[in-house]
Structure 1
Amino acid sequence: MICRRATQTRTKMGGLYMLDYGAGNVRSLINAVEKLGYHIEMVNDPADILKAEKLIFPGVGAFGSAMESLVSKGYVEPLNQYIASGKPFMGICVGMQTVFEGSEESPGVQGLGIVPGTVKFFSKQDKPVPHMGWNAASVVKELKSEDASGQAVNYSIEADSVYYFVHSYAVPYDDSLREWTLSTTQYGSEIFVSSIQKDNVFCTQFHPEKSGFAGLKILRSFLSGTGFVDQRNVITRDPRLISRDRFTKRVIACLDVRANDQGDLVVTKGDQYDVREKNTEAGDVRNLGKPVDLARRYFEEGADEITFLNITSFRNCPLADIPMLEVLRRTSETVFVPLTIGGGIRDVVDPDGKIHPALEVAGEYFRSGADKVSIGSDAVYATEKYLASGGRPSGDTAIETIARAYGSQAVVISVDPKRIHVRSPEDTPHHTVKTPFVGPKGEQYCWYQCTVKGGREGRDIDVRQLVTACEKMGAGEILLNCMDQDGTNAGYDIALIKDVREAVRIPVVASSGAGREQHFVEVFRETGVEAALAAGIFHRKEVPIESVKTELRKSGVSVRGIDETLL
């Protein structure tokens, strides 16, 4: 394997700046801005903020970490001065939350205080948290007449579009925020502020840079406009009269990436995790395409997310040269939906002996274009440690350290279980499920054993122990595979998925076994999961993504449409 260090040149143009406080995925925003024909410079010191003519403050992470970074870098005072100057300001996600007075995520930490109100934790009573996926934004402001500045008050937020959200905390709408609220979104029974606009300030809780072409239109509106709307020319509707939950189910394309015998990265897929061809003398690694090209194809075909699973360890590469970093960088140049990376999110040792903790490894992936990281074997080891301590989090696992810095929504747990059949629940201390997949001796029950090392080694932990422990340690999503179904095209393991969906209050992604459109309908209808993932059937073009979504719509399942154009 040849490790290549990426090099990049960037043309600079004064005026447009990005404030990066040191966490989260900002590369996708840079790429989105450049896709629109603009060049953006990074704020490197406090003086740069006051040089800006337009300023974007993006963020993926925790409120407290963001504010502490702003304070330590000396950014708070010049940021307040910049906003008070009347020049255009755009905040995204945590960048929006920081303009409020504080957040329940970080009690005692003061926000910028530009907007009155407190960011609060979502209720889990009627929905999974984080709010992770595509939802609508209902615009509540409109112009009485054409604004003299030419700036659209809604910044091109459209009623028929949905946008990508990933957060556990939000600002509940109330009438005290009426003059600030541009749009609201309903999730479950809660109505929250999904964008704000007043004078020169425009912020979104959702991520325009990850919301396909619908999101790029919003960025273009901010970049091309004057950034100021005369509030005397605006009327506001009551969001409670127009609000409804339009949260959609996600269809995710998964790419298993590894090096072939020639050292090239390819997307592969196997039967029961065996990725080598059986009908060739050499037994070559199955090659279904190049990862960057396939990811772009799936984005254009309407995939709601792309997941890369790195199944090659790259042991001989320094962290900064791991080839998957370059895959993410190149993918994020043309793919504007969320990217998840799994495999290798653990403590890493360079060939020269330098140790990189899992938090640093995750940071490299985020800065290269990833929105979430998926943890597999290390989640099992962390659960073993958690159970051995009597259910007390240690605070030092990859799950906990990454969630503290970037938020729980950035941490996905990838589970590779296999069925262990038993005659009755009394035959094992583990949590059992009655399964339609009868065992070799007619057993009707099984427990799902968690595995490590790509499914090669079983551990004495069942799936329910794993997912409940990982949720308590701070994980924000479960990617639920099933080794027995993988590659079968016989459908998802509904009993397993339903059992896990009932055990946790974080989003669950169903994986393994999809072979036709109806399998997606079944898993959404029968389990209530938030997302369903497939790989081989998409790679081989056996089942197009759009035909999956068409079948889901016919069955009454709400899904996102394809953004066909930026125009």
Structure 2
Amino acid sequence: MISLLDYGAGNVRSLRNAVQALGFSLTEIERPEDILKAERLIFPGVGAFGAAMERLHRLGYVEPLKEYLAADRPFLGICIGLQTLFEGSDESPGVAGLGLIPGRIGRFETGALSVPHMGWNDVRVERESPLFADYAGEKLYFVHSYRAAPSAENADWRLATTDYGQPFLSAVQRGNVAAVQFHPEKSGAAGLRLLHRFLGDAQEARSCGPFIQTASTRFAKRIIACLDVRANDAGDLVVTKGDQYDVREAGEVRNLGKPVELAQRYFEEGADEITFLNITAFRDFPLADQPMLEVLRRTSERVFVPLTIGGGIRAFTDGQGRAYSALDVADEYFRSGADKISIGSDAVETVERYLASGGVKDGTSAIEQIARVYGNQAVVISIDPRRVYVSSPDATRHQTVATITPGPGGEGYCWFQCTVKGGREGRDVDAVELARACEDLGAGEILLNSIDRDGTGAGFDLELIRAVSEAVSIPVIASSGAGCVEHFAEVFAATGVEAALAAGIFHRREVPIQAVKSYLREQGIETRL
């Protein structure tokens, strides 16, 4: 009997789907006593250490879980499921972990690297384990801001390490108890194979090897496929694409495919992540948006890489007068298959209040609420800026750049104005201050669009991307303007961003994803095969 310890932390639908895709069935842990009945126990989770431990205590799971682990029974922890095995975490001072492994979880040191560690990396297998039978060095998907450092105290647990600035424990095992920091259910075929080794008869699995690998692991740049989803005039959900955000052509909404089928195609073609941007009318009442929730549910059955959903993630009141918080909305989207939540216009309004208060965080914003429960890595800020040209930096209070593309009046400087409502309305907030404020509020990633470059195929706005990526320590996704493989290499080389996103050129098969990755590798830029 394979049992899933679902305590309400993040997207476990994808894990359920992965287990079922491998031909196994799951039993849900519904009561504390169910833990000790399990024959194999999976403990997944994303989010904050303190929130995870609080839920475990509230549900009465801590003591039976400790008893299960002490008996050396088959156990697989994933992400937070690894971190809670330790004595505590710097993420939540004063909160005790399960205490099975000595030591504390610490935060990554930022330095030149972005935190969270978000994306595809290798693991260095350091001793024999059936979990890594036939592991061929494929990259696996990580998303975390805190890590377990290898030490003399945890040496007997160390199974695999990964480099990100410095080595951290990417897998631990002693006896039948194992845990991994990466997400096998989000790591494509390689992750599914590892998951199968735990679920099947481990005694039949061949050993891995070589066991001691000294080479450094290499973090990959991500290529993300973006699907703008909306209802067309006939009421069907379609993937569309705009030019300067105009999605109509000859009076009709551009129809570039069905969202679930297109997402599956990109997964099979090697996309590292899939992003859905919900631009339907349903976003006014997001919990009534059953079509979009169904898109997530069905996609998570077929696609085993991370899924991001944006559009309408905010507090609202429905037609019956019932109020929902942004966290309520995020909960439903996570439970439907999303791994990350993208916040757009609501982030601009949040930052306007934040700046007006002198930088006071009151805990009420969607960014703070979601990050507190699900962790910083679960919150993406989608910024839609446009250029505003000025004759000199003194002409505005906003941060400017000296631009190589002068304005219509020959202006040599510009700042990047944030917009809301699909780019239709500008605000007195620039992209740099928005990104900095959102990082302070708890966001874990920036999706940086450009209204000026959207749909042009002229290349990414390097000046905008450089200005924002240099201002924050969280990962930045470059978006808008890609027209050829060279543009992807250019943005990675010129700005150092962690990921690049495209839509139309992928939808229309003008530039295949594998062509992008092959070209990047030719240029010496690490990607996931």
Q: TM-score range by the shorter chain?
A: over 0.9
Match of 1:9 in 2: none
Give, in whole Å, the separation in 2 of the partners of 1:139 and 1:72.
Answer: 36
Q: 1:27 aligns with which of 13, 20, 36?
A: 13
CA displacement, residues 13-53 of structure 1 (integer Å, 9 cap, x when unaligned): xx111001112100000000000000112111111111111
TM superposition shift of 1:356:
1.0
CA distance in 1, matches of 2:409, 2:284: 46
Alignment counterpart, residue 22 of structure 2, candidates 8, 15, 36: 36
Classify the secondary structure of the residue corresponding to 1:421. Answer: strand
The question of 1:49 aligning with 2:17 is answered no
Matched, 1:253 2:197: no
**Number of aligned pairs?**
528
Q: 1:165 to 1:227 in 2, by over 3 A?
A: farther
Q: Do structure 1's residue 270 and structure 2's residue 242 form an aligned pair?
A: yes
Contact 1:88–1:226 at 8 Å: present in 2 too?
no
Query: In structure 2, the residue corresponding to 1:96 is in which secondary structure?
Result: helix
**Structure 1 segment 21-100 matched on structure 2, within 5 A:** 21-100=7-86
The equivalences for 1:197-216 within 5 A come to: 197-216=173-192
**1:333 and 2:333 aligned:** no
Report how far residue 185 of structure 1 moved: 0.3
Letter of the aligned partner of 2:299 in structure 1? Answer: T
* Distance in structure 1 (CA, Å) of the matches to 2:77 and 2:137: 23
Deviation at 1:236, TM superposition (A): 11
Amino acid at match of 1:65: A
By how many angstroms is 1:465 displaced?
Answer: 0.9
Q: Partners of 2:432 and 2:255 in 1: how far apart? A: 35
Instruction: Establish whether residue 182 from structure 1 lines up as the match of residue 150 from structure 2.
Output: no
Taking structure 1 as the reference length, the TM-score comes to: 0.91
Secondary structure of 1:141's aligned partner: coil
Give the match's secondary structure for 1:497: helix
Superposed, 1:154-233 pairs within 5 Å as 154-156=131-133, 158-188=135-165, 190-226=166-202
- Residue 117 in 1 paired to residue 85 in 2? no
- Between the aligned partners of 1:427 and 1:192, the Cα distance in structure 2 is 48
2:35 partner letter: I
Residues of 2 paired with 1:559 and 1:173: CA distance?
A: 26
**What SS does the corresponding residue of 1:61 show, helix, strand or coil?**
coil
Deviation at 1:434, TM superposition (A): 1.5
Q: 1:318, CA displacement in angstroms?
A: 6.8
| Deviation string, structure 1 residues 78-128 (Cα, Å, up to 9, x no partner) | 111112233210000001111111000000100001111111000001311
Describe the superposition over 1:508-535 as per-residue Cα deviations: whole angstroms up to 9, x where unpaired: 0000000000000000000000000000
Q: Secondary structure at the match of 1:255?
A: strand
What CA distance in whole angstroms lies between the structure 1 residues aligned with 2:70 and 2:492?
Answer: 48
Cα distance, 1:46–1:157 mapped onto 2, change above 3 Å: farther
Task: Render the CA deviation track for 1:218-264: whole Å, top value 9, x for unaligned.
Answer: 000000134899xxx999977xx715141000000000000011111
Aligned counterparts of 2:187 and 2:87: Cα–Cα separation in 1: 27
The C-alpha deviation readout for 1:169-194, integer Å capped at 9, x for no partner, is 00011222221011000002x10000
Listed one character per residue, the Cα deviations across residues 43-67 of structure 1 (whole Å, up to 9, x for unaligned) are 1111111111111000011100000
- Counterpart of 2:426 (choices 440, 458, 482) is 458
Deviations 1:329-372 (A, max 9, x none): 00000100000000011012222221110011011111111000
Q: Does 1:528 align with 2:496?
A: yes
Deviation of 1:555 (Å): 0.3
1:164 deviation in Å? 0.3
Cα distance in 2 for partners of 1:428, 1:336 equals: 46
Check whether the contact 2:85–2:100 (CA below 8 A) recurs between aligned residues: yes
Q: CA RMSD in A?
A: 1.7
Query: Any conservation in 1 of the 2:133–2:208 contact (CA below 8 Å)?
Result: no
- CA–CA separation in structure 1 for the residues paired with 2:286 and 2:503: 29
Cα distance between partner residues in 2 of 1:514 and 1:221:
40
Q: CA deviation at 1:319?
A: 1.1
1:133 aligned counterpart, secondary structure: strand
CA distance in 2, matches of 1:315, 1:510: 25
Aligned residue type for 1:194 = S
Instruction: State the alpha-carbon separation in 2 of the partners of residues 235 and 477 from structure 1.
Output: 35
| Alpha-carbon distance in structure 2 between the residues aligned to 1:553 and 1:472 | 35
Give the structure 2 partner of residue 476 of structure 1.
444
* 1:345 corresponds to which of 313, 323, 332: 313
Identity of aligned residues (%): 63
After superposition, give the CA deviation of every residue in 1:199-232 in whole Å (9 maximum; x if it has no partner): 0101000000000010000000000134899xxx
- Residue 160 of structure 1, CA deviation: 1.8
Q: Does 1:467 align with 2:444?
A: no
Is the contact made by 1:318 and 1:351 (CA closer than 8 Å) also made in structure 2? Answer: no
Displacement, 1:438? 1.6
1:344-401, CA deviations, whole angstroms, 9 ceiling, x for partnerless residues? 1101222222111001101111111100000000110111011001111121100000
